[in-house]
Amino acid sequence: MSPRQRLLLAGCAAPAGVFFLAFWLLPVLRLLALPAEKGWGTYFVVLTDGRYMESMLNTVLLSVAVTLATLVIGATVGIYLARRSFFGKRLLLALLTLPLSFPGVIIGFFVILLGGRQGLVAELSSQLFGERITFAYGLLGLFLAYLYFSLPRAIATYAAAAEAMDLQLEEAARSLGASRLRIVRDVWLPELAPTTVACGAILFATSMGAFGTAFTLASKFEVVPITIYNEFTNYANFALAASLSIALGIVTWLALFLTRQFGSGQAAR
């Protein structure tokens, strides 16, 4: 490559580079340095302070549970839809993936409509048992809301992956007398493994960083994004908010990084 050409490419990348440097990289580097002003211990507050540790564990456990449930349900629905043809299938698939464009706050509101004080379940249960059942503001509400925004991505991904699956393997297994359960275990699972890993990482990362949904539900079950928001706006504790953001960023990035390593390892084999 000639120096002239190199200069040309550098010129092409410059506007985006300058913008990114000014409005992301430098501000984030400053954010990384911020906790140091309050002492080096501030960086490890998520490990040393029980309250923040609990919030982080809550978030990780919730995200793992949501990711696993979403993968199982999403795979089931995706495979079923890919294998069947029936009237209105395209419309159903469009409706099921529509929530991908909803902001998280809307999904929080949906759960309030279902399980809030004036919700559908409360109405039904008061008519049936004379008792208003609400679940929107606790762990179950949060779990269902996270499931709601995770499912569309998993369904779309698995529907596409199942379309590309090799039917002959399955036929071979069946003609050799394999049970349905064995086909799922020995044919489907290995074939869908790369999809599952990649999709799972994105689902986990999205759940870890989700803020709007938990914010709308004003949940009693505190997740890290809410903790960060409270430290920042209610207590103006910028160093602590920065430290928690870094911890959250590291966990999320690590999940994405590890699965990418796993993915390239798969490809190399």
CB 266, min distance to another protein, A: 20
Residue 235 has φ and ψ, to the nearest 5°, of -110, 0
CB 39, min distance to another protein, A: 18
Helical H runs in the chain? 3-20, 26-33, 45-48, 50-83, 89-97, 104-115, 120-129, 139-163, 167-175, 180-183, 189-209, 212-217, 224-233, 238-268
Q: Which is nearer to another protein, 120 or 269 (CB)?
A: 120
Enter the DSSP assignment of 130.
S
Interacting span for another protein (CB under 8 A) from 35-43, 49-57, 129-137, 213-221: 213-221
Examine residue 30 and tell whether it contacts another protein (CB under 8 A): yes
Residues contacting 67, CB < 8 A, separation 6+? 150, 200, 203, 204, 207
Examine residue 31 and tell whether it contacts another protein (CB under 8 A): yes
C-beta of residue 226 within 8 angstroms of C-beta of residue 210? no
Examine residue 82 and tell whether it contacts another protein (CB under 8 A): yes
Residues 169-188 that bind another protein (CB under 8 A): 170-171, 180
CB 16, min distance to another protein, A: 4
Examine residue 249 and tell whether it contacts another protein (CB under 8 A): yes
Residues 99-158 that bind another protein (CB under 8 A): 99-106, 108-114, 118, 120, 144, 147-148, 151-152, 155
